[in-house]
Each structure stands twice: as structure tokens, then as C-alpha cells.
Amino acid sequence: MARERQQLSRTDANPINDNIETIARVEKRFLEERSVSDRMADAIAGFSGSMKFVGLHAVGLLIYII
């Protein structure tokens, strides 16, 4: 009975794994085909959402106040 469950779970997991691999390939292709402006926008957005950005703004504000 346990062996039947293992075989069933293996066959059920195949379509799921195939879909995950397909999505990963599509995302990888999308990231490779981005334009320069898209890459720059992602870099800026990544930095502006970081703690370094918050820290720099806090330091700038303190310097401005003092």
C-alpha cells in the first residue's frame, strides 16, 4: 500500500514539476531579453527599496538639520 502511494505521488508530481520548469525557463528568457532601460529601472527600484537608501536619506536629513 505504501509503495502504491509512492508511485501515485511520483506520477502526480510530474506535471507540477514540468510546469515549474516551464515557468522558470520563461522567466529566465524574459530577464535575458530586457532592454537597457528596464535593467536600469530595476537597479534603481532595487536600490530605492533597500536599507542603504533609507540610511543615506537619514544621514542626509541629519546633515541638513545640523
pLDDT score at 61: 96
pLDDT score at 14: 86
Q: Are 47 and 53 in contact (CB under 8 A)?
A: yes
Residue 3 clears pLDDT 70, i.e. is over it: no
Cite the DSSP H helix spans in 1-66: 2-32, 36-48, 51-65
d(CA 21, CA 18): 5
Residue 56 clears pLDDT 80, i.e. is over it: yes
Residue 1 clears pLDDT 80, i.e. is over it: no
**Cβ neighbours around 25 below 10 Å, total:** 10
Helix axes of 51-65 and 36-48: crossing angle, nearest 10 degrees = 60
Dump pLDDT digits (tens) for 35-49.
999 999 999 999 999
